[in-house]
A and B are shown apart, each in its own frame.
Chain A
Amino acid sequence: MGNLRSSRLVTVVAFALSAWRSRRGNLPLPRLLTVAVLLYAVIQLLSRTGILNGYFMIIINRSLVFVILAVSLNLINGIAGQFSLGHMGFAAVGAYVSGSITTLIFMYTSEQVASIGGNIVFVIAIIVGGLAAAVVGFLIGFPSLRLKGDYLAIVTLGFGEIIRTILNNISVVGGPRGLLGIPKFSNFTNIFVFTFLTIVALRNLVQSSYGRALLSIRENEMAAELAGVNTTRGKVMGFAIGAFFAGVAGGLLAHLLQIAHPTQYGFYASALVLIMVYAGGMGSLTGSIIAAFFLTFLTEALRVGIDQLRDRVGIPVGTEWTMVIYALLLILVMLFRTDGLMGMREAKLLVIDERKK
């Protein structure tokens, strides 16, 4: 009941915000905030009234985590024009660091402490996980100073695999069993807030002078350098920032699934995020968001469809078909819509209007 009331409160706040928006003119953040709060309220209401059941909420939560992963990879691959194939490696760092922190703390503290300070510890752990991933991203950014295109791709792939191999061999965090018993702190609310903040942060970043510098590196590195852009700083920081958000996503995922396992963060997981970025459009945050949602739901739909085919119709099909279709989809997108769904375009909501400044 209390939750229902709080959702109503959120709706009221949303309307108040939209009123504020019309008085203040088209300030982009309140507009985006309004949409986000409305979206949150609608989903929360549907969930509380039971229209969206727990299963749907799990998929929505997963989609939101993938939104963070996709937009942060888009910063590295789409905006800065680098090529990272090891994005899940960053997520793994975030997942293991934040997961270890919360698991350790709540192993030794009483229930009461957990209920009072739990969420604060959780947020701090997620951020520390993100920072750890950023440090790794900073280090991985260095090869990008000397390498381009496919060489960089293979180095980042290698780094991702090295991270996975190391995790597989550290027995303190479970080795090949994975890190088990992570407390379940992630819920729709905090995942939604983190996703929103990520989108806002990346939108602001991309449309700042720093983001323009990254775009210029993508278009022509030498010209950018000659125009006075610090390309070294741009590329390394692009990697570090992208890695930070990937680490945050990893942390959220670990606290959602209550496990962090090396196989979750292998090359194919990175490839899935890559598919989202390419299907949505390189350089378009909007595209990444749409593609992350669409593809996460598609994966679930395919899984359910395949289960139905097997159980009801009796055709012996394995779950691998999901990935077959996924791979085929990737090839078809690349062949027939090389620029992805959105190309370079952004939804109006995510564009900061220059004229209003």
Chain B
Amino acid sequence: MDSVINAQQIVNGLQLGSIYALIALGYTMVYGIVRLINFAHGDFYMVGAFAAYGAFYLFNAYLGSGGVLAFVVLILAMAASAAIAQLANRLAYKPLRYKPRLSSLVTAIGVSMFLEYLFSALPVIGPNPRGFPEIIPKRMFTVGSAEISNYVVIDITVAAVLMVGLTLLIRRTALGKAMRAVSQDKDAARLMGIDVEKIISATFLIGGAFAGAAGLLAGMTYPRIQPYMGILPGIKAFIAAVLGGIGNIPGAVLGAYIMGLAETFATSYNSLLGEGIAFVILILVLLVRPTGLLGEKTADKI
């Protein structure tokens, strides 16, 4: 077992978990507020990666490569994904808000396919994978028995800063209070004078922005991007959200780190297991504890 679980794998797992956490947060927030599994969320992450790629080549000449450029690229990637998320919300999800829930789910699958194939159909992007530039020069240093790159530090820090920011937003601001209210009871929130559609928009914007940040981090860490890159991370992050208890924000983070670690360990043990571990976890969770680790039990209403 020593070869499977060691410091190096733990670091890699935490790094992967940070990326999953950023995606899973968007899933869980949107689910908490509109009860929709936004299948297209993984594609918002893909959009973020491509926006970062474009932004890098746009600003590389002016800003050089380094911290300032990385910050600008991060902001643009987050903005692009947030914009796409909001567009999808307005055009595809909003008209179906009060129709049966499964029709929104099918629409979300449609949005997901649309984004993927549109990106691979556009001549400037195309279906072939392309390398992601080194926005910040990569450096390796050794801590104990683990080789750590500065990217590990960046990934974990960016994710942590964003998550702390989100927590503050939800706990301390009026917007956060309104979001909590809408996720508890949409109709009561509306009666209290909360503009529910505005809160939903804000949720999609924040969720999209987080996915965009994840897209940039993933692009830097695993430097290959292509239009279908969002499918698997999207599904895995969703499973992470379910593992933590969907709709529950700390749960999504916890689930994402468990998922990142489990996947890293499983892959180093056997690559087939690594591919399938997410689904094994999902099925186990749903059979044993369908509400997730931190989810609350809900009774069936008759």
Contact = CB atoms under 8 A, between A and B. Distances in A.
A316 interface: yes
A321 interface: yes
A252 to B, nearest CB: 25
Nearest to A321: B121
A162 B276 CA distance: 6
A143 B287 contact: yes
A331 B287 contact: no
A343 interface: no
Contacts of B120: 318, 320
B302 interface: yes
Contacts of A151: 242, 286, 290
A146 B272 contact: no
B117 A323 contact: yes
B117 A324 contact: yes
A267 B231 contact: yes
A327 B117 contact: yes
A317 B121 contact: yes
Interface in B105-127: 105-107, 109-111, 113-114, 117-118, 120-121, 123, 126-127
Interface string A159-172: 10110010001000
A327 B113 contact: yes
Contacts, number: 114
B210 interface: no
Nearest to A272: B113
A335 B95 contact: yes
Contacts of B231: 267
B2 interface: no
Given A154-B239, A331-B107, A338 B300 contact: no
Contacts of B101: 149-150
B109 A274 contact: yes
A176 interface: no
A248 B288 CA distance: 33
A153 B95 contact: no
Interface string A256-277: 0000000000011001001100
B188 interface: no
Contacts of B56: none
Contacts of B302: 222
B260 to A, nearest CB: 18
Given A316-B123, A317-B121, A318-B121, A155 B282 contact: yes
B279 A158 contact: yes
A278 B109 CA distance: 12
Contacts of A334: 96, 103, 106-107, 110
A106 interface: no
Given A320-B117, A338-B103, A165 B276 contact: yes
A271 B113 contact: yes
Given A155-B282, A320-B120, A324-B121, A330 B110 contact: yes
B154 interface: no
A338 B114 CA distance: 18
Interface string B45-85: 00000000000000000000000000000000000000000
Interface residues on B, range: 35 or more
The main secondary structure of chain A at its interface with chain B is helix
A201 interface: no
A9 interface: no
Interface string A321-351: 1011011101100110010000000000000
B123 A154 contact: no
Contacts of A83: 102, 105
B110 A331 contact: yes
Contacts of B114: 324, 327-328, 331
A157 B103 CA distance: 17
Contacts of A165: 272, 275-276
A286 B301 CA distance: 35
B96 A338 contact: yes
Contacts of A330: 106-107, 109-110, 113
B138 interface: no
B281 to A, nearest CB: 10
Contacts of B272: 165, 169
A154 B106 contact: no
Contacts of A154: 37, 235, 238-239, 242, 282
B92 interface: yes
Contacts of A304: none
A149 B102 contact: yes
B286 A157 contact: no
B139 interface: no
Interface string A113-153: 00000000000000000000000000000010011011101
A323 B122 CA distance: 12
B169 interface: no
Contacts of A275: 110
Given A147-B290, A334-B107, 5 more contacts: A146-B290, A158-B279, A165-B275, A334-B103, A335-B92
Kindly list the 10 A-B residue pairs having the minimum CB-CB distance in the complex, ordered from nearest. Answer: A320-B121, A327-B114, A330-B110, A158-B279, A327-B113, A323-B117, A331-B110, A334-B107, A150-B37, A324-B117
Interface of B: 36-37, 92, 95-96, 99-103, 105-107, 109-111, 113-114, 117-118, 120-121, 123, 126-127, 231, 235, 238-239, 242, 272, 275-276, 278-279, 282-283, 286-287, 290, 300, 302
22 contacts: A146-B290, A151-B286, A154-B242, A155-B286, A157-B235, A161-B235, A165-B275, A165-B276, A274-B109, A278-B106, A318-B120, A320-B121, A323-B117, A323-B121, A327-B111, A327-B113, A330-B110, A334-B103, A335-B92, A335-B107, A338-B99, A338-B103
